[in-house]
Amino acid sequence: MKWEVVIGLEVHTQLTTQSKIFSGASTAFGAAPNTQTAVVDIALPGALPVMNKAAVDKAIQFGLAIGAKINQKSVFARKNYFYPDLPKGYQISQFELPVVEGGAITINVDGVEKVINLTRAHLEEDAGKSVHEDFHGMSGIDLNRAGTPLLEIVSEPEMRSWQEAVAYAKALYSLVTWIGICDGNMQEGSFRCDVNVSVRPEGQQEFGTRREIKNLNSFKFMEQAIKYEVNWQIGEIEEGRKIQQATILFDPDTGETRMMRSKEDAHDYRYFPDPDLPPLVIADEWIERVKATLPELPVAMQARFQSQYGIPAYDATTLTSSKEMAAFFEAVVAAGADAKLASNWIMGDVSATLNREEKTIAESPVSAEALALLIKRVMDNTINNKTAKDVLKKMWESGDSADTIIERDGLKQETDTGAIEAIVDAVLAANPKAIEEYRSGKEKALNALVGQVMKGSGGKANPGMALELLKKKVG
Amino acid sequence: MKTVKELSAALAAGQVSAVELAQDYLARIAALNPRLNAFITVDGEKTLAEARAADAARAAGNAGLLTGVPVAHKDIFCAEGWKTTCGSKMLDNFVSPYDATVIANAKAAGLVTLGRANMDEFAMGSSNENSFYGAVKNPWDLNAVPGGSSGGSAAAVAAGLAPFATGTDTGGSIRQPASFCGITGIKPTYGVVSRYGMIAYASSLDQGGAFAHTAEDCALLLNVMAGFDDKDSTSLEHAKEDYTRDLNQPLAGVKVGLPREYFAEGLAGDVAAAIEAAVTELKKLGATVVDVSLPNTKLAIPSYYVIAPAEASSNLSRFDGVRYGHRAANYDGLADMYEKTRAEGFGWEVKRRILTGTYVLSHGYYDAYYLQAQKIRRIIANDFVAAFKDCDVILGPVAPTTAWNLGEKSDDPVAMYLADIYTLGVNLAGLPALSIPVGFGSNGRPVGLQIIGNYLGEAKMLNVAHQFQQATDWHAKAPIL
């Protein structure tokens, strides 16, 4: 039997506010335990939550960026359950009326585009952390994270493979970091994915029973977890067993998923509207104000790059894979480089070197201006393309400018016809066969000789000029 | 028995110092509290330190109207450095690290804390028999309950252990003990007094308020307590008012509504007689009486006893033994720690309401109970809107009877809930209301008249109460102890 995989994602993104969603305490990561806690975060008797408007701004930004509906009235609800890292005994979240509804994100798997619809995105508070390492026979509680604002982004179950799920997660990641509502630090838990997975026989309409893989904080783990889970579910069904709805965890050490709790153990969260918080009302002016602060989004920027700089769609998409790379590209062009050359260099040698060194473009030792100068030296024929690659390597290591390296290492391209002519003569004399082929109509025969002229000149000859000379002499 | 107005004048005239006043009250508390049990915590050193600061402020020319006047605070308001128990074993070891807004406002006004008044555990109760610290006795009759949940505050004022006191009212917890103890008590419009630092029972109903002998004193304390607070999202963004401003308006032309449902079956004859006499007195003062209807009065009880426990079940989840408060001494694992801690820390009425609240919010029952109760709540609020089209204030009894005997209803929670019939609607509708003493029942225990105001109609309500008190002396009567 052929099986179809059905996947939906719930992603918790920590929002980049200075203070918590319902208190004035700092959200900075890594402080000493329980030092960033206001009375609300410890849930002292009598403490009351007050909405942080900056968190709402970010939810609105997200809604606008995915073309969703911003609910002008949304309601905070209490999700009740007991756990030591949940100080109030309930989490303030949104249940029936979320702040953002609908919207969509386009993914691309192996060149095929697909639109993934979103169900909703809602604001809620993060819990604290249980600390098990430092206490013998006991657990410690650190409430610094309690009350950190989260936007939980829920997709429709529209993904049909692990590739689509990972592509969706990456696209979402790139969007929330692009608009700056999330710092994207997955190690610190800023972007955590719950993946709902089910399988069904191909052609069947109704969904199979799903199991939810909790808290995946890397795309690699997501891939591994889904692959394992899909195989496991198909195996169970093929052996005649039914899938039971469950919440499961992925263990990166074993590469397997395991049961966290079954449906029978599922909490009854007893959601009800939080009487401490009036409904969140978002007037048109608020939405307009946020709209004005929204950066140009990747899709709009791709269209602009194509029309403004005349670069192909593929280049525009690649260059807008991060806001930093797009800005770098525009800075290179602004400093006088040809747009297509700039695009080639950034997508080629610059990206390759950054990847090798595990750096982001913001950390590039070669600035946009320095790269632009190098490209200009190719454009004005001071050096050829091959030399330029070596120059870039030296710029990367030394931090010197292209001009300094060209001057110091004597890399200036040879444009003196007389000097090249001698080398051309010598190459032709050594390759009578190539001359014959050319004369018999094989145009490309001479191209092979250009390389030899270049070699003879120590790389300094202008390849175009060399070809011209070869043709002139033979023809 | 001195009113706050008189004490304020004596302090201003230098006839008495804040320290002398505090010492007088502390001495009276030491003498009578063992019989009344109105206070959970008294700390003379702290009180005298506050009194000395008040005297110093006065000497420096920084005294306000109430600087140096002593006050008792219901043990529900978090006060920095004071044990804040909410009447529960759960918080027997809890010393608050911060001040409720009500406490901060009282400090800023120069009030001197006499101590922490006893109360029903987590404000759940109508008799003050649910306190971990024991029942409070009614100063008029030590065999009678003082009412609840703010029974300690009411008994303290009635017995002269404090000139005025703070309280909270979720379903009648200020008005009913004021009525049972023969004093004046006001619950303002929901959102007028900040709930920040006031330990939550039912957040959408809880409202802080004041007890005193007179409506005028209540207005003075409300002036201190009230005001918009950005730390409470349900606080009303409403300009600061002077609640004394209309006290002396004549009552000529004021329309008082008598809801016929408040005078129907179930109201004791002696209470009805005292209320009717008070209405006659108000007519003499120029008020016009109109007949109004609150047709869904009876539904207030089931609506309240779904909504309040629902909110309470969630509000009290934080008392889990993890961070502060009681934790069981011996337990085996996390679930056992929770179970033993909460089993030991909470009393029976609190457990009953947590269970009720958990039930009505449960999957499959939410629509039938909680949502239904919220619909009834809107219907009840609309009844008041309709009634206030025909009148300026609504009058009625506070409770169907005078104070009952200690122990009389403690085994019958439903009977106790039914006695809240005249007070619950006001909380469900978010309206202001007060209780003033208007006589005594056949058993010699006080009867209170409830005056319900329109939304933010505190000043009108206080005006009616004050004019009544100018013409009568029920408020000046004191129990002999």
What would the DSSP string read from start to end of A303-314? Answer: HHHHHHH---HH
What are B122-177's pLDDT values in tens digits? 999 999 999 999 999 999 999 999 999 999 999 999 999 999 999 999 999 999 99
Is the pLDDT score of B395 beyond 80? yes
Cis peptide bond prior to B203, omega within 30° of 0: no
Is the pLDDT score of A470 beyond 90? no
- Arithmetic mean of pLDDT over chain A: 93
Distance separating alpha carbons of residues A112 and B187, to the nearest angstrom = 66
Under a CB-based contact definition with an 8 Å cutoff, are residues A22 and A40 in contact? yes
Per-residue pLDDT, A46: 98
The whole-number average pLDDT for the span A96-111 is 93
Three-class secondary structure of residue B445 per DSSP: coil
The whole-number average pLDDT for the span B78-90 is 98
Nearest residue to B449 via CA among B306, B329, B280: B280
CA A53 to chain centre: 27
Query: Is residue B107 flagged as an active site residue?
Result: no
Single-letter amino acid code for the residue at B109: A
Per-residue pLDDT, A430: 85
Residue whose pair of structure tokens reads 């000493």 in the numeric block: A32
Is the pLDDT score of A339 beyond 80? yes
Per-residue pLDDT, B239: 87
Under a CB-based contact definition with an 8 Å cutoff, are residues B256 and B394 in contact? yes
Q: Is A43 close to B362, i.e. CB distance below 8 A? A: no
Single-letter amino acid code for the residue at B224: V
Q: Is A88 close to B334, i.e. CB distance below 8 A? A: no
User: CA B260, B265, B269: angle at the middle one, nearest 5?
Assistant: 95
Ramachandran angles phi, psi of A116, nearest 5°: -105, 120
Query: Is residue B340 flagged as an active site residue?
Result: no
Tell me which chain A residue has its CA closest to the CA of residue B191: A276
pLDDT top residue among A193 and B416: A193
Nearest residue to B126 via CA among B85, B83, B79, B173: B173
Say whether residue B355 is in contact with chain A using an 8 A CB cutoff: no
Per-residue pLDDT, A356: 93
What are A177-222's pLDDT values in tens digits? 999 999 999 999 999 999 999 999 999 999 999 999 999 999 999 9
Per-residue pLDDT, A30: 87
Nearest residue to B453 via CA among B259, B218, B223, B188: B188
Chain B residues with CB inside 8 Å of A43's CB? 318, 323
Distance separating alpha carbons of residues A370 and A400, to the nearest angstrom = 9
Per-residue pLDDT, A441: 81
Q: Is B78 close to A44, i.e. CB distance below 8 A? A: yes
Say whether residue B311 is in contact with chain A using an 8 A CB cutoff: yes
pLDDT band at A459 (very low <50, low <70, confident <90, very high): confident
Distance separating alpha carbons of residues A6 and B431, to the nearest angstrom = 53
Per-residue pLDDT, B378: 98
Residue whose pair of structure tokens reads 């998923």 in the numeric block: A257
Ramachandran angles phi, psi of A182, nearest 5°: -140, 140
Per-residue pLDDT, A221: 96
Window 177-216 of B: residues touching A by CB (8 A cutoff) are 195-200, 202-204
Residues B96, B126, B127, B149: which is the catalytic one? B149
Q: Which two tokens stand for residue B359?
A: 């039930």
Three-class secondary structure of residue A220 per DSSP: helix
Q: Which two tokens stand for residue A354?
A: 């950054």
Say whether residue B376 is in contact with chain A using an 8 A CB cutoff: no
Query: Is residue B173 flagged as an active site residue?
Result: yes
Chain A residues with CB inside 8 Å of B322's CB? 84, 87, 141
Chain A residues with CB inside 8 Å of B230's CB? 50
Under a CB-based contact definition with an 8 Å cutoff, are residues A282 and A71 in contact? yes
Q: Which two tokens stand for residue B9?
A: 């004048």
The whole-number average pLDDT for the span A290-305 is 93
Is the pLDDT score of A425 beyond 90? no
Per-residue pLDDT, A309: 97
Classify strands A69-70 and A100-101 as parallel, antiparallel or unpaired.
Answer: antiparallel
Dihedral sign, CA of B336, B338, B341, B343? negative
Q: Which two tokens stand for residue B474?
A: 């029920």
Under a CB-based contact definition with an 8 Å cutoff, are residues B70 and B169 in contact? no
Is the pLDDT score of B450 beyond 90? yes
In the DSSP assignment, the letter for residue A105 is: E
Is the pLDDT score of B389 beyond 90? yes
Is the pLDDT score of A289 beyond 90? yes
Distance separating alpha carbons of residues B39 and B156, to the nearest angstrom = 8
Dihedral sign, CA of B130, B135, B137, B141? positive
Q: Which long-range contacts (C-beta less than 8 Å, at least 24 apart) are formed by A237-241? A: A237/A199, A237/A208, A238/A1
pLDDT top residue among B416 and B102: B102
What are B262-299's pLDDT values in tens digits? 999 899 999 999 999 999 999 999 999 999 999 999 99
What are B96-107's pLDDT values in tens digits? 999 999 999 999
Per-residue pLDDT, A59: 98
Nearest residue to B139 via CA among B211, B47, B209: B211
| Contact residues of A toward B, CB < 8 A | 39, 42-51, 78, 80, 82, 84, 87-90, 141, 268, 270-272, 275-278
The whole-number average pLDDT for the span A383-401 is 93
Class of residue B7 by CB neighbours under 10 A (exposed 0-12, middle 13-18, buried 19+) = buried
Residues B8, B96, B131, B173: which is the catalytic one? B173
Per-residue pLDDT, A458: 78
pLDDT top residue among A473 and A394: A394
pLDDT band at A271 (very low <50, low <70, confident <90, very high): very high
Q: How far is the CA of A203 from the CAs of A1, A156, A206, A211, A318, in angstroms?
A: 11, 19, 9, 21, 36
Chain B residues with CB inside 8 Å of A270's CB? 313-314, 358, 361-363, 366
Return all residues near B159 (Cβ < 8 A) that are at least 6 apart: B32, B36, B38, B139, B479, B481
Residues B74, B137, B187, B340: which is the catalytic one? B74
Say whether residue B293 is in contact with chain A using an 8 A CB cutoff: no
Per-residue pLDDT, A136: 82
Distance separating alpha carbons of residues A463 and A387, to the nearest angstrom = 12
User: CA A131, A134, A138: angle at the middle one, nearest 5?
Assistant: 70
CA distance B238 to chain A (A): 16
Per-residue pLDDT, A474: 79
Per-residue pLDDT, A66: 97
User: CA A138, A143, A147: angle at the middle one, nearest 5?
Assistant: 145
The whole-number average pLDDT for the span A237-265 is 91
What are B339-348's pLDDT values in tens digits? 999 999 999 9
What are A50-71's pLDDT values in tens digits? 999 999 999 999 999 999 999 9
Which residues make beta-bridge pairs with A141? A130
